[in-house]
Structures are given as structure tokens and as C-alpha cells.
Structure 1
């Protein structure tokens, strides 16, 4: 099954693997990234369209065309982390075996080139193998690691060559969306509900307001705020970016002037929740190294984990940290929601405490001797 997936992706890319190896050349990093990306999804959700074209198929079932179009709109379904890791390891081992097999029959110069290229490429490929949780509970959603967060911000920067969008307005708006989600930990629905009047014109602050069935919101499925109303303070640089977007980008779209919402589409209509979901699908496809679980809600988990790390650095007590978090997230004073959003931090602290206990045992053992 894994080899079938591997060869299907290579065929779709027009790659004859054995012929490539016989020429002393290995797969490139982008080509390996394509394999790594495919390994994250159910095989049934991956389109055969490119493969059919490469094979020169003359007749295509109309039902399959409809299924492809439907799959293009809907988000593909991810396999579990253990399956993804197993696929990547199997692919890497198989490719390494082929290199050894084919290189034995090559001239010295080609053999050395192939071995060298494959070693470097496979090292990078194996680095994408995710860590598999020991128990299902540990596989629950977590925030981004610091490395993934940096990678995300690099890809979505408006000037990045890897940015998946071509339109300048869309690039800058989507960058602002991700930055605001990471900076505040707000929900997708809260971001989409922000109106320009919710921004403080004198101070770097904005308000999150609950507006059920708002008359000024034309969206059929209005994004509703689930938490309490609250005021959030932003860094001045981020607030300047918000106002710059309003004055230099949003204002140029005449249709947007009819709506009070901060975040709008390039046609001026308030952005939908599905459009935000599609934004993260595009990001994952543009940067295969990003987690397949990347969504707007992962930004919320990421903020909460960074909040815990900063609270620890500041020496806050658990009670103070809990109250501060609840206030920032709009939760009730006695809410225990934080446990849902701080798994990575909690897991790290648990490992540190466990190692401290082991260290004490080692010291006692040395003393007894």
C-alpha cells in the first residue's frame, strides 16, 4: 500500500524512479516533500487525475471527475500520526534500498554522486517523520512547536517566495489573520466578528464583542463569539499593521465600505469561516513541513502554550496565571478550559519533574554506596 502510494505520486509528477537512479541522480527535496505531504492523507482522498494524464488515459469516468471536483473543495482527511510516521519510514527505507541496489552497477563517479545526494536528501526526509504518541490521549491537538511557528510565519510573510497567494491584498490580509490569531489566541469566529469600530483609535487595543444575529452581518452563517466580551491589548507594531491594512488595502475595495467587519474578501464581502479554513489548507500545501493538523484553532492552542511558558518565566503563581489566562481568553473566572489548550507545556513540565525525581534517586543511590 505504501509503495503504491509512493509510485502513484512519482507517476503523477512524471518521475521514472529507476531511470533517475541509473543516471546517478536522486529525488530532489521538493519531490520528497510531495511524498511526505501525500503520506499525511487517506489514499482515497488523493486525486488520480494527474496520474491518468501521465498514463495517457483517453477515457475518464464522469463520476470520477465529479468526485475530484468535490475533493478539491473539501478538505482532505488526515491519517493518524502513527500511520503517517510508518509510511515515511517505509518510503525512506525503500528508497535507501533502491539506491544501494542500483548504485552497485554504476560507474564510480555516478555511484559516489548518487550515494552522496541520497544520503543528504533522505536525512532531510526522515526529519519529517512525526513523533508518535505512546497513548491516544497524547495525540490530542497541541499548539505549534516554536520551529513550526517560525516556519509558518516565514511562509505566510507577504514577501515570501513560498507564499501560496499571488494577489497582494490576499497576501497581506492572510498574514494579518495569522498574526492576530497567534498574538491573541482568539477564536476564528471572534476574529471574523471584529468590526472596525471595535478598534481603539488612540491606544493599541481592540474589543471582542458578542453579537448574536447582527443585522449588519450579511453572512448566512454568522461567526458567533462563544466567550465573554473583553478588551485585548496589542503590541503597537501589530496595531499599526491592522490600521495599515484598513487604510491601504481594505479601503481600496469599494464594496467593502458597505460592511463594518475588519476582515473581508477581495470582493469586499465579509470573509467566511470556510475561507479561513481554506487559508490553512493552502498553507499546508505550500509548506509540506507544516503539521497536517494545522488549523486556525491550532493558533489558539499555540497562544495558550506560549502564555504558560511566559508565565513560568515571570514567576507567576498558578492562581494568578489561571485568572490572567481566563481574562485574556474571555472565560469565566473559575473556568478550567486551560487544560485543553496547554498539553504540550504540561507534558514538558511533567517530563522535567519526572527527571528531577530520577535525579534524586541517583543521588540517594550514590550516597548509599
Structure 2
């Protein structure tokens, strides 16, 4: 087992807490919350992550995010001259005043929380020197959702640690009754605050797929040799294949980066691509490992993708460094497995160099776009499908995307849903106008009716 330190943009020199990783012989990586001064993992978070969260098969990056959110609880306790463990194990548990204070503390950015904690301890926390790039700027909704996730993680941690504390108290004792009542009330309030803060994105901020003209622009620009291709010649075939996999199959960027050569099975007319979950992969030498978050699956490869694979694999074989590992996508300089940072750079270059591409174009936007096109094709193929047909369709979508719950599709079909709703609305309006016109044409005035009666 090895232990390494992995700094990120969220770290800064003043923060008394950081994240370190341990790597087991099996290849599994596990994050730990570490107090910098002591240089040792904090026992309670390590126990919680190992015994409660890790068995749920959560991705290592998800566990890391949870620990970063848990930092706010430890910084808050530092600012109050206490520790989370001491407050949780106190006979009266946490008070409502402490909960309100914690809620307020969690509604600020991490650098400001660090500064407040250091200032309260007299450690000169007025200036926060950030290392590397700072966190992305967020709108009010983004900040509010971040607060909700922080409170949800803190709730899960306190719930687990306090339950362990209560289970060791004498059953039926007055002390346990008082503790359990306080625990129930505070945890209930904390849970409601977390739920209230996690709000869905507004339609203006929600991520969507691409308009038709943007799709055509993107697919034209990524072709090797195209005048608008933004990448160097030696990476054009690799990058085209990456973007086409994201576009044609709706894969996540981690799934693309985790592909191994043996996962590609080509046939004369196409082939199969295996997406495999390997949370404990000793073959992956990357420090920051990409991960397959969704279910494993096999996806069909069409003739066009097959040709792209053949062209790229021929180039990959020319790199000596690529023979030292099984990963499909590699750096063009040394043949090492392609990193998450390199994937981000691919899209950053696209956005910067290709005019009229959206500023928010990322690998994940293409996953949304795949779902839009899936819905559009389903409408064209079976416009009068039954409810049973719709259920089968969503099961097929869930399989292709690796989801356990077909309801997840709602997040990925916002553009199609909006356009379909507007189309139906316009059809209803036009149909109503036709009906009104026909009614007007057939309407008889009282004078006309009297004249007709007199003539009769």
C-alpha cells in the first residue's frame, strides 16, 4: 500500500486540511482527509469513508468530493475551538444554535471559510494564497446547490458517527433517550435544509444538446485535413475518434479514457465496443484516474467508426510508449495513457479555434446531444407509439447510457423536451384557429335566420 499527496485547484497554502490518497496493491485508490499539521489522516472521516461510503461502490472521485465538502464541518469546528467528534459525542449532541451557525458557515466559498477559521484561531487568515487556478465562478443557483451538497454530506457523516455513538450507550438509559431525541431533531432539520438548498437548474442554466447547424459545424471541423481543424496534424485522427465516440455513442469522457485496446472488437462490417467498470485497475498508471461511473455495457460500432478505429490504431502502434500499457487513447509525445487534463484541452481548443461553437461545449454536452437525437429518431420511427413502446424505448436508452434508472433520461433530454412541447403547442394553436374559422363560416346571424323563415 502506498500513500501519495494529490493537490488540486481547490487546495491552498493556508488550508489546514488536504486530501491524500492511498493506493492498494489491487490498484484501488482511496482518498483520506488529512490535517496538514499532523500529517495523518483524521480517524472519523477515514472510518466513515471506508465503512459507509466505499461499500456503496462509489467512484473514488465521488469520495474525494465528499471529503472536500466535509472540510467545511472541520473548518467550522476549528473556528469554534472544538472538533466535530467532540460535538457529536457530547451528551446533548448539537444545539439548534450550533446548527444555524454551521448552516451560515457552509454558505461561503472554501477560501473564505479557511480565512474565517484561521482568523478565529489567531492564525492570520485574512489573506488566502491560492495555489494554481481558483474555483470556477458560480451564479447564485450554483452556490446554493453547492451548499445543499455540503449539508447533505455533513448530514450523512454526522448521522453515521452519532449512530455509532448512540449504539454504545446503555439501552433504555435516560442519557441515551436524551441523546437520541436531540440527534433525531437536529439531523431532521439538517436533512431538510440540505434538500431545500439542492434546487434544479433553471431552464437558462440547464445543460442541453446542440442545435442541428452546430452539430454539422462540429463534425466538419474535426475531420483530419479540414481547413478549420484546430489540432496539430499528429493528433487529428485520435481527436476525431474521441469526439465521434462521444457524439455517436453518448459516452462519458471517463469511459472513453478508460477504454483498452482489447475492449474494441472489430468485424468486417463494424464491431463491438465494451465499456467495463474497473474501479480497482492496477494497470492504470495515471495519477488522477478517469473512471467509468455508469454500468458496463457493449455498444455496436458502425462502419464509419470502424474505419476511424483502424486509422487511429495504425498511428498508435508507431508510439513505443503505447506498448507499455493497454489503454486505447495515448499521448502523441510519449505514448502514455491520455489524461483527463488532455481531454479537457481537446475541447478547450475546439471552443477557442472554431468559430460559432458554443462557449460551453464539453464532452458531456455531446452526451446530452446523443439523447436529443435518440428522442428525435424515436419520434420519426414511431410517431404513434404506445405506452408499452415508450417503456421499451426508455429501457433501450438506459442500456446504451449505462443507467440503472430510466428516469435519468429527463436530465439529458431538455432540448428535445422543450422543442417537442413548443411544437405540440403550436400545432394545438393552429388547430384551434382552423376550428374557429370553420365555426365562423357556418354561423347564421339572427337577421339571416328571420329572412329565411319569412321566405319559407
Provide TM-score, normalisation by structure 2.
0.50
Q: 2:218 pairs with 136, 148, 152, which one?
A: 152
Q: Secondary structure at the match of 2:370?
A: helix
CA distance in 2, matches of 1:289, 1:78: 24
In structure 1, which of residues 212, 233, 237 is the aligned counterpart of residue 279 of structure 2?
Answer: 212
Q: Which residue of 2 aligns with 1:118?
A: none
- Cα shift at 1:241: 1.5
Q: Is the 8 A contact 1:205 1:239 kept in 2?
A: no
Number of the residue aligned with 1:350: 421
Shift of 1:313: 1.2
Give 1:226's aligned residue: 293
The answer (yes or no) to whether the contact 2:237–2:311 under 8 Å persists in 1 is no
Cα distance in structure 1, aligned partners of 2:137 and 2:225: 30
Which residue number corresponds to residue 394 of structure 2? 322
Query: Distance in 1 between the 2:205 and 2:352 partners?
Result: 22
Bigger drift between 140-149 and 311-320 goes to: 311-320
Q: Write out per-residue CA displacement over residues 259-278 of structure 1, whole angstroms, 9 at most, x where no aligned residue.
A: 10111111211111111111
Q: Which residue of 2 aligns with 1:30?
A: none
How many residues align? The count is 244
The DSSP-based 3-state class of the residue aligned with 1:233 is strand
1:243 to 310, 325, 345: 310
**Equivalent position to 1:175, from 240, 243, 266:** 240
**Partner residue of 1:52?**
none
Distance 1:201 1:359 in 2: 50
Aligned to 2:337: 270
Deviating more after overlay: 135-144 vs 256-265 = 135-144
Alignment of 1:1-369 (within 5 A): 136-166=202-232, 168-202=233-267, 204-246=271-313, 248-266=314-332, 267-315=334-382, 317-332=389-404, 334-369=405-440
Structure 1 gaps, min length 5: 1-66, 81-134
Is the Cα contact below 8 Å between 2:266 and 2:306 reproduced in 1? no
Runs of 4+ residues over 6 Å off in structure 1: 74-80
Distance 1:145 1:77, change over 3 A: farther
SS in 2 for 1:204: strand
In 1: Cα distance, 2:310 partner to 2:325 partner? 16
Secondary structure at the aligned position of 1:345 is classed as: helix
Q: 1:287 to 1:76 in 2, by over 3 A?
A: farther
Note if contact 1:199-1:207 (Cα within 8 Å) is conserved in structure 2.
yes
CA distances 1:103-130 after superposition (whole Å, capped 9, x unpaired): xxxxxxxxxxxxxxxxxxxxxxxxxxxx
1:153 is displaced (CA, Å) by 1.4
Aligned to 2:45: none
Instruction: Compare the two structures and name the one with the higher strand fraction.
Output: 2
Q: Is the Cα–Cα contact under 8 Å of residues 213 and 222 in structure 1 kept in the other structure?
A: no
Question: Aligned partners of 1:148, 1:237: CA distance in 2, in Å?
Answer: 20
Q: Deviations over 1:271-322 (max 9, x none)?
A: 1111111111101111131000100001101111111111111115321220
User: Distance in 2 between the 1:75 and 1:174 partners?
Assistant: 27
Note if contact 1:78-1:292 (Cα within 8 Å) is conserved in structure 2.
Answer: no
| TM-score normalised by structure 1 residue count | 0.62
Q: Does the 8 Å CA contact 1:75/1:281 hold for their aligned counterparts?
A: no
Cα distance change on mapping 1:260 and 1:243 into 2, 3 Å = same
Instruction: After superposition, give the CA deviation of every residue in 1:312-356 in whole Å (9 maximum; x if it has no partner).
Output: 111153212201101111112x42111111111111110111112
CA distance in 1, matches of 2:132, 2:218: 27
Are the equivalent residues in 1 in contact too, given 2:209–2:366 (CA < 8 A)? yes
Judge conservation of contact 2:237–2:308 (CA < 8 Å) in 1.
Answer: no
Q: Offset at 1:75?
A: 10
Deviation at 1:79, TM superposition (A): 9.5
Go from structure 1 to structure 2 and tell me whether the alpha carbon gap of 1:171 and 1:75 turns closer, same or farther (over 3 Å shift): farther
Seen in structure 2, the aligned counterparts of structure 1 residues 79 and 179 have a Cα distance that, compared at 3 Å, is farther
Measured after TM superposition, the shift of residue 206 of structure 1 is 0.8
